[in-house]
Amino acid sequence: MCDICVNPKSGWRGFMELPPRRTLVATGDWIDLSHPVGPEMPCASIFPAPRFERLRQVPHDPFNVTEIHMVAHAGTHVDSPLHFFNDAPGFEDIPPERLSGPGVVWHLPQPPDAVIGVGTLQRARPLLQPGDILAIDTGWAARVGTPLYERHPSLSVEAARWLVEQRIKLLACDFATPDLVYHLRPAGFDWPVHHALLGNGVLVCEHLTGHAALAGQRVEFMFGALNIVGCDGAPARVLARPIAD
């Protein structure tokens, strides 16, 4: 999730090659890892708050119809590379295999304003495998709606680059952005974590929730991001279930 990019950038390096798909054996039921889409969904304060209006309503009308006003980066959503790179694909060009498949959930509790470094990721288990999706549980989803939610953890640039080296295809976090929290950003801040991830074809999901129940496990994910033409991001209903190692 970013502010309006004043200097549009190019130089997207494309999607990295994925390993062949393997047969997955589920060991539990699907659970929902998304915030409900509604007025209370998390949304960065730099964006307008989501607004929902009932245009038609039974019994005065023959049917109910709701009009929705929201940025693509409100609530649980996925960033496309177009979020930062004008020569990168919008959501209509994101292959489905980039939004689903196996991965891990890491429980990495953090204090406010923490920056997660390479060492923390290297010690986390289960180990990452090439082509994995990684979901990080810092406990921050429980702070939605409180002032503390704005003081979320983030990743160091070195940690983001390390994840690219591990060949993950998607990073999901339970806060607003993996980049440094707003009030700690220096002058000229350039969203380096997003550039490191999206620039190498690693998608980013923000505002995840409920994945603490899967911490320490290998998991199958489905990120049901909307296929919005030419869009830099898309709201998503995210599902996951545990699988055998």
Q: By percentage, how much of the chain surpasses pLDDT 70?
A: 96
Q: Is residue 55 one of the residues assigned to a domain? A: no
| 2 pLDDT higher than 50 | no
In the chain, how many domains are there?
1
The mean per-residue pLDDT over the stretch 56-77 comes to 97
Q: In this predicted model, what pLDDT tens digit does every residue of 78-91 receive, in sequence order?
A: 999 999 999 999 99
pLDDT (average), residues 159-163: 98
Give the angle 10-193-102 at the CA atoms, nearest 5°.
Answer: 100
The predicted pLDDT at position 245 comes to: 86
Contact assessment for residue 206 and residue 1, using Cβ atoms and an 8 Å cutoff: yes
Provide mean pLDDT across the span 115-138: 98
pLDDT on residue 9 = 58
In a domain, 47, yes or no: no
Task: Tell me, yes or no, whether 214 lies in a domain.
Answer: yes
- Report pLDDT for 11: 77
Average pLDDT over residues 117-126: 98
Domain that holds residue 191: 31-38+72-242
Please say whether the beta carbons of 38 and 244 come within 8 A.
no
Give the predicted TM-score (pTM) of the model.
0.94
Query: Which amino acid type is present at position 104?
Result: V
Q: What is the CATH number of the domain that holds 146?
A: 3.50.30.50
Residue 7 lies in a domain: no
Q: Is residue 10 part of a domain?
A: no
Asked whether residue 25 is domain-assigned, the answer is: no
